[in-house]
Amino acid sequence: MESLTDSEQPTSSQPQVEGSQSEGVDLLSFNRAELAAFLKERFGAPAYRAEQIFQWFYREGVQDFAQMTNIARELRQNLAQAFRIPEAPVLSRQISNDGTRKYLFGVDRGGAVESVMIKQPKRMTLCVSSQIGCGMGCAFCRTATMGFHRHLATSEILRQVLGVVKDAKNFDDMFQNIVFMGMGEPLHNFDNVMRALSVLVDPKGLAISPRKITVSTVGLVPAIEKFGTSGVDVNLAISLNATTNEIREELMPITKAFPLERLIGALRALPVKGRKKLTIEYVMLHGVNDSADDLRRLPKLVAGLPAKINLIPYNTNAGLGFETPSEDYVRHWQDVLTRKGINTTIRWSKGQDIDAACGQLAVKNLEKRKKHSIALNVLESVGAQTRVNSNATLSSAS
């Protein structure tokens, strides 16, 4: 299947400059090059004015054009009339027992999205959303119960980041990493995510190192190929979660369009620079994708890829009916994969008590699917209705 369905098509490449003349154009909808082109067309301003505005707004946090004192007064007045600078109101903020914070941000058209400030031993990681809901239908992800509502505009993505930057002052902390692993499939909303990334890594923008940013995908092969030639040199994570097409199709319907063979082929063709590695994410679902055979197949599947594996024990709090394997069994997988020469880490859940962990994000009043029946349907389909205790396979999986 070469073409994407309507719900899988990437967005257009033009910045969204919605807004009436009276309310102004959204400043956050532009990257620096687009802003320079807009300023030249509208005011005949030189390109360096965009650099100045970016530095004042993103680096200095100045939102009043009148305070941008190295810009001519007349132009400042014109800018104040031409642009609006929206914020994402914090509709709620929850704090986990482990220090993780979950934000519900208001966005345009009455929408809302969740972002998470993940507390880790040596750093903070910000997890942002790229869509309201998600159309990929992954069986283990609570966001999928919302269905797909719409893509977030570039501005709405950036507003999450800026909103957390502002609120972090109340806690005297700041994130060191950003992951696009919140609500939505980032590469489905390709152009808006790429534009937001260009602002995040821009030295005159938020100036975040590309190596500190990771974009996750379910495996939209055409978008992965486009990502490889985009010039935005951030990290890529692939949500794999199965070692056969049969199991993966049940867990991740996108596999029907882009089976494992094609996905792995696309990953092999990516231009991965230097020591950079792809991240293979593997959500471990007890009795579904964690058999001894899966453990034998996984190293063969990723053989030759410049990749590391991130094992993610399923969060039972997502309420979808799956179970998580024991901690000892997860560590056994890590040991086996490590002995085979694969750098393997485990992502232990953070923020479970506030529904902020991996696979738990969802705006509750938008959830549609009956959660309790999802895992049962998958288990019946993969022939795992009678599950074998995965701990019993510890020795046979080596």
Report the catalytic residues. Answer: 114, 358
- Please count the other Cβ atoms lying within 10 Å of the Cβ belonging to residue 86: 19
SS3 104: strand
In angstroms, the CA 383 to CA 146 distance is 27
Single-letter code of the amino acid located at 146: M
Q: Which residue has the tokens 């005011």?
A: 43
Q: Counting Cβ atoms within 10 Å, is residue 99 exposed (0-12), middle (13-18) or buried (19+)?
A: middle
User: Of 329, 330, 321, 338, nearest to 385 (Cα)?
Assistant: 321
The conformation of residue 389, written as its DSSP 8-state character, comes to P
What are 74's two structure tokens?
A: 């007349």
The conformation of residue 128, written as its DSSP 8-state character, comes to -
Q: What is the DSSP string of 284-332?
A: E-TTTS-SHHHHHHHHHHTTTSSEEEEEEE--GGG-SS--PPPHHHHHH
Tell me if 387 sits within 8 A of 286, measured CB to CB.
Answer: yes
